């Protein structure tokens, strides 16, 4: 087996592992919220955004990971033209909603952590009511913006004769002149860049508010031996961790996407590497959220106590 085959197999295994681990992680987080809802636990306003983020993560992982894994391991029967269009379209919609969800989380949290006496006070009361319509608008916007993928993508199982195309492994992308490519790239990038700008502004604002709050608390509790963090501070730190992780992987993914757009002849290593990087955040994010969520820990310990109690009673 030559080095190219080994590299291809390694990347394929990474993509398959990401799809499996990421799907299990997001499914576990979804089950967690389902249990909270059934048991009557009062959900936070941001939990609705996180549930939509979970759905978006599923779309990114499954619609990209499954076809790439099939192609990498030499699956002879490629998805049909309609299936390829659908896979690519849902992947792009999921990716866009994922970006928008993180943006909404960060903007909502910066409104929540602002002091009550500030000019944000009135918006802080109204903000929870705007979450549902905002996330619905994100889905609709992404469905409209990415509709071009249903037109310009061709599956390898397609019976149409295509002469000028780019090969992405399991599907073709029809080439256009440079002007159309630039306009298409601007159309796709504008929502993402806008969300990224809002994210960075919100993250900077949260860091400033947390720093100011910490100084105020230190001043008030100068003689105290320990000061606990407020729930708002903990939630803000979780969202800052989520945003910084997202920005890191999104920047890497964007660099690879630009390289793919500039090159004419694409290698399988580059195409698969780009798909793997795009799947990193949807794979990691549910575990970040669960590790920082106190309700996950409380449910786990309650389950442990309930599991041990029958044994304890039998031993009495």
Contact indicator for 124, 82 with CB cutoff of 8 Å: no
Largest CA distance in the chain: 80
* Domain residue limits at 262: 3-309
Closest to 83 (Cα-Cα) out of 153, 173, 188:
153
Q: Is 316 among the domain residues?
A: no
Q: What is the CATH number of the domain that holds 137?
A: 1.20.1070.10
Q: Is 200 among the domain residues?
A: yes
Q: Is 314 among the domain residues?
A: no
Residue with tokens 């920005």: 247
* 229 secondary structure, DSSP code: P
Q: Is 39 among the domain residues?
A: yes
Task: Report the number of distinct structural domains present in the chain.
Answer: 1
Contact indicator for 97, 297 with CB cutoff of 8 Å: no
| Residue partners of 296: CB distance under 8 A and separation at least 6 | 32, 290
Q: Is 290 among the domain residues?
A: yes
Q: Is 294 among the domain residues?
A: yes
Q: Using DSSP bridges, classify how beta strands 171-174 and 153-155 pair: parallel, antiparallel or unpaired.
A: antiparallel
Q: Is 120 among the domain residues?
A: yes
Per-residue pLDDT of the chain (316 residues; tens, 9 = 90+): 445 567 767 877 888 888 899 999 999 999 888 888 888 777 788 888 999 999 999 999 988 877 777 766 666 566 777 888 888 899 999 999 999 999 999 888 888 877 666 666 777 778 888 899 999 999 999 999 888 888 877 776 655 655 666 667 667 777 666 677 677 777 777 888 888 889 888 888 888 887 776 676 665 655 444 445 566 667 777 888 888 888 899 888 888 887 777 777 777 778 888 888 888 999 999 998 888 665 554 544 444 455 455 443 334 3
pTM: 0.81
Q: Is 74 among the domain residues?
A: yes
């Amino acid at each position: 087996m030559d080095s190219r085959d080994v590299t291809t197999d390694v990347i394929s295994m990474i993509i398959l592992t990401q799809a499996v681990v990421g799907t299990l992680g997001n499914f576990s987080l979804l089950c967690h919220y389902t249990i909270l809802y059934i048991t009557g636990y009062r959900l936070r306003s941001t939990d609705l955004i996180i549930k939509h983020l979970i759905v978006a993560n599923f779309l990114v992982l499954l619609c990209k990971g499954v076809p790439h894994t099939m192609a990498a391991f030499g699956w002879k029967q490629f998805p049909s033209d309609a299936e390829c269009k659908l896979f690519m379209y849902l992947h792009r919609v999921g990716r866009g909603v994922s970006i928008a969800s993180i943006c909404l989380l960060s903007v909502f949290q910066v409104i929540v952590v602002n002091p009550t006496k500030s000019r944000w006070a009135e918006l802080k009361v109204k903000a929870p009511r705007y979450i549902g319509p905002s996330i619905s608008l994100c889905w609709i916007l992404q469905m409209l913006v990415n509709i071009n993928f249903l037109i310009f993508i061709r599956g390898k199982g397609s019976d149409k004769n295509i002469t000028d195309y780019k090969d992405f492994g399991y599907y073709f992308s029809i080439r256009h002149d440079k002007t159309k490519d630039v306009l298409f790239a601007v159309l796709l990038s504008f929502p993402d860049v806008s969300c990224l700008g809002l994210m960075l502004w919100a993250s900077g604002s949260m860091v400033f508010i947390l720093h100011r709050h910490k100084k105020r608390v230190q001043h008030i509790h100068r003689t105290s031996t320990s000061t606990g963090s407020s729930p708002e501070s903990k939630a803000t730190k979780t969202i800052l961790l989520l945003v910084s992780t997202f920005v890191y992987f999104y920047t890497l993914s964007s660099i690879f996407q630009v390289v793919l757009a500039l090159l004419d002849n694409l290698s399988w290593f580059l195409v698969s590497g780009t798909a793997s990087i795009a799947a990193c955040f949807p794979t990691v994010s549910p575990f970040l959220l669960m590790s920082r969520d106190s309700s996950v820990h409380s449910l786990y310990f309650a389950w442990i106590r309930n599991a041990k109690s029958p044994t304890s009673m039998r031993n009495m």
